[in-house]
Amino acid sequence: MSAKKPDLHAAYALESPDDNKRLYAEWAGDYDEGFAALEDYQLHIHTARAFVAAGGQGPVLDVGAGTGLCGAVLSGLGVGPIDATDISSEMLHEAMRKDIYRDAIEADLNEGIPVPRESYSGVVSSGTFTHGHLGPEVLPALLRVARHGAQFALSINSQHYEAKGFASALRELEKGKIENLQLKEVRIYGDLAAGPNKDDTAYIALFEKA
């Protein structure tokens, strides 16, 4: 374990799947109280509510589920069953302790998701498509496990939406793979947040599998 405590700066500096595993193994036990609560993290709430408002329903795959913050909001809104997938076994362990998930799937999305095709009626992701994490190249893997008409709600860091190719990837997918694409811009943190990232925003990309 490193001497430096994991934080948002370290998360944004990640460069590889192994980097992700190392950081989140250290951060898992303190993530909810040491980061989400202290920084007034709100993105998971916006994402879950947008999914439900768009008519999303289970079974749902929570992508990059972490400690289960988004899944907890979904469950509270009456959505289920929910499966969690994440690259970090330690984060998934924390998520499963919340007793809201049906299953935990440890996976590197760059290598696909080890579940059958068309397993889910909904796919959500909060905080995974951001600095140092996943890019648009994993979108086909998410579509593979979604059923026809499945509702998606994916948060994408606003700074990355154009720069990292999400905009062009989604435009390409609109050619027969997805439909009814809408973007909703939200603040990642609430009014209690401080520091250089306190005003960061994300787009929630809402669409259905064609």
From first to last of the 210 residues of the chain, give the pLDDT tens digit: 333 443 444 344 434 445 443 444 444 445 445 555 556 788 999 999 999 999 999 999 999 998 899 999 999 999 999 999 998 888 899 899 999 999 999 999 989 999 999 999 999 999 888 655 578 999 999 999 999 999 999 999 998 899 999 999 999 999 999 999 999 999 998 887 777 778 889 999 999 999
Q: How far apart are CA 30 and CA 37, in angstroms?
A: 10
- Residue among 153, 159, 172 nearest 43 (CA): 153
pLDDT of residue 133: 58
Given a contact cutoff of 8 angstroms between Cβ atoms, the answer to whether 209 and 152 are in contact is yes
pLDDT of residue 182: 97
Q: Is 141 exposed, middle or buried (0-12, 13-18, 19+ CB in 10 A)?
A: middle
- Three-state DSSP class for residue 49: helix
The pLDDT tens digits of the residues spanning 141-200 come to 999 999 999 999 999 999 889 999 999 999 999 999 999 999 999 999 888 777 777 888
pLDDT of residue 4: 41
Instruction: Compute the half-sphere exposure of residue 50: CA atoms within 13 Å on the CB side of its CA.
Output: 27
Q: Is the dihedral of CA 138, 140, 145, 151 positive or negative?
A: positive
pLDDT of residue 124: 98
pLDDT of residue 23: 45
- Three-state DSSP class for residue 43: helix
pLDDT of residue 56: 98
pLDDT of residue 38: 55
pLDDT of residue 25: 47
pLDDT of residue 29: 43
Q: How far apart are CA 173 and CA 21, in angstroms?
A: 30
8-209 classified as CATH 3.40.50.720: no
